[in-house]
Structure 1
Amino acid sequence: MIRVSVLSMPRWRCAAALSLALLIAACGESVSPQREAMVAGDAAVTAKMGAAPAPMAMAPGAPAPEAAGGNPQDGAVQKHIAVRHDIDVVLAADRIEAAWKAVGEQCARLDCEVLNSSLRRELRDQPGGAELQMRVAPKDLAALLGTVEGQGRVAAHNTGSEDKTAQVIDVEAHIRNRTEFRDSLRALLKDNTGNRKLADVLEIQRTLSQTQAELDSYATQLKILMQETQRQAVNVNFRPEVSLVDGGAANPIGNALRDAGQVMSHSVAGIITALAALLPVLAIGLPLFWLLLRAWRWLRRGRKPRTSDL
């Protein structure tokens, strides 16, 4: 620190230095109360609004708070996706009915419903098979698919999805509009302040009935859409195995020998049908032809000149 002797300085310099020191002291005293007042004011505002929350730790890749809450409508749209599973299960022909029953019983134990069920018995001219159409909740999908896959060999499993969000939003908007319009009509019908004609009351009731019918129709559409999107469709097709010995392409001679009796029966049936069609013609045509032949011979005998006349 440098010390300056005041006695060695001129008088005008001493006066200037003293004035500068007094000015700095005065400014320091005036600034300090203002800063204390500002700090006190900030503390009061903080106490009034509450302590500021601690910064939240965000996971890597998470959007910033401004982006997450910038537009509520962007994040409020819920997707409605209809998912469909088409499964082909190949198994022995004598096990198709048991597998069909097992999958249906498993669906009954889960949050699942059977929409359609069919069973075809194995006949001479058609193979056996079975189909199941179900709707299952996503939480029970794995259990149902496990039962299906345990019945035989899964030859194909196709999964498809359809976005029905726009349809759901459209139907919900119609329901809101129709509900508001119905409520306004009911309030108008209950309002007895003015003199109203009978024709006006009947017109309001007719419009109210039509609006309620439209509202019920939209509610049914929304229910169907919710069932299609909240549950997943599972369609299972059971079909029998085809071995190389039984296959027509692998064993055409055996196929021909097996079908020989059927071909012969069809041929005999065709001959019988032809005879049945010709029998009425022969029964009527042969006697008629015989009579015409006799008449023609009689006429020729009558026209032939006699030898006595010559």
Structure 2
Amino acid sequence: MLPLSRTAAVLLLALTIGCTRNEVPPMPAPAPAPAMGASRASLSKAAGGERARSVMAESAAPGAEPPAQRFLAVRHDLSAEVTSEQLPAAWATVRDLCGTLRCELLSSALQRETPQQPGHASLEMRVLPADVEALLGGLSGVAQVVSHNTTSEDKTAEVIDVEAHIKNRTEFRDSLRAMLADSKTKRDLGDILSIQSTLADTQAQLDSGATQRKVLEQQTSKQHLTINFAAKRVLVGGTSYSPIRGALRNAGAVLAESVGALITFVAVALPWLLLAVPVLWVGRLLWRRRARTQKRID
């Protein structure tokens, strides 16, 4: 059994620890006792800081969102079919719909139907992800989407590298400007020119990085859409009549090609005919004369 004095000391220590746990908040590290040395206090403070950082990392790891944002370049390639008569109207409807959304029209082309080739059209756009569904819904309302291919390219590493490069170059540029603005340090003309040359090169690198970051921003903040419109093939009266319809449609072209071939043949053969007719006529006269001579001899 412990002596009374030692038992009292243990009870006093337990009450002190209990009061300390009730009074001190759980997040900050507990303050060291006055009897501890300076080295002990610094170690306790460092351990508290490491514990707090580990707790923050554990709380952020399992359920929280990832700290780094992903930058994806998404591309949609679509093919749509519409009748030849409605193709220009469908193309214009989707193009006008892009103007009402957060959409950037990059290129547009329209080829109307001719006797030689069917009509076709195309649109190239950049659209915010929130407006892609609205644009695709408008396309489905005026044309039949026959194919839709989606590709995605991760640009996160490139964005991080460019932003880190811009940050480092900015800090370096600011330090160079501070050196030029420092009037207390005596520098000769060669040092000043060297600093100015380095500053100009750094600024050029910053401008190039800003341009690259802007290109990456355009590729990742909006989705790239390419829509190709084609005329839908319509067979009237069944498939058995399609060859006849095609032949009737191409009859004029075939006749024109035949007439052209005939004209070409006449143009090529006419000089030879002009030369052959006199030769044949002289040959015929000589043959008749020989025939009469041979008859007289007989």
Give the TM-score of the pair, scaled to structure 1.
0.67
1:153-202 superposed Cα distances (whole Å, 9 cap, x missing partner): 111111111111121112212212222232233223333431422x5444
Give the AA of the match of 1:157. H
Residue 158 of structure 1 aligns with which residue? Answer: 149
Mapped partners of 1:24, 1:184: distance in 2: 70
1:132 Cα deviation (Å)?
Answer: 0.9
- Equivalent positions of 1:1-310 (< 5 A) are 28-46=7-25, 49=28, 67-69=58-60, 75-192=66-183, 193-197=185-189, 199-245=190-236, 251-270=242-261, 272=263
1:216-242 superposed Cα distances (whole Å, 9 cap, x missing partner): 122111111111111111211111110
Instruction: Check the 8 A contact 1:248/1:255 in 2, yes or no.
Output: no
* Larger Cα-atom Rg: 1
For structure 2, the 5+ residue unaligned runs are 30-54, 280-298
Larger CA deviation: 94-103 vs 169-178:
169-178
1:43 Cα deviation (Å)?
Answer: 3.8
Give the TM-score of the pair, scaled to structure 2.
0.69
Mapped partners of 1:246, 1:173: distance in 2: 67
For structure 1, the 5+ residue unaligned runs are 1-19, 51-63, 291-310
Mapped partners of 2:27, 2:137: distance in 1: 60
SS at match of 2:260: helix
Pair 1:266–1:79, CA change in 2 (3 A) = same
Give the AA of the match of 2:166. I
1:92-142 superposed Cα distances (whole Å, 9 cap, x missing partner): 111111111111221111111111111111111121121111111111121
Pair 1:277–1:248, CA change in 2 (3 A) = farther
SS at match of 1:244: coil
**% of aligned pairs identical?**
44
Give the AA of the match of 1:194. K
Residue 54 of structure 1 aligns with which residue? Answer: none
SS at match of 2:105: strand
Pair 1:105–1:237, CA change in 2 (3 A) = same
Larger CA deviation: 23-32 vs 143-152:
23-32
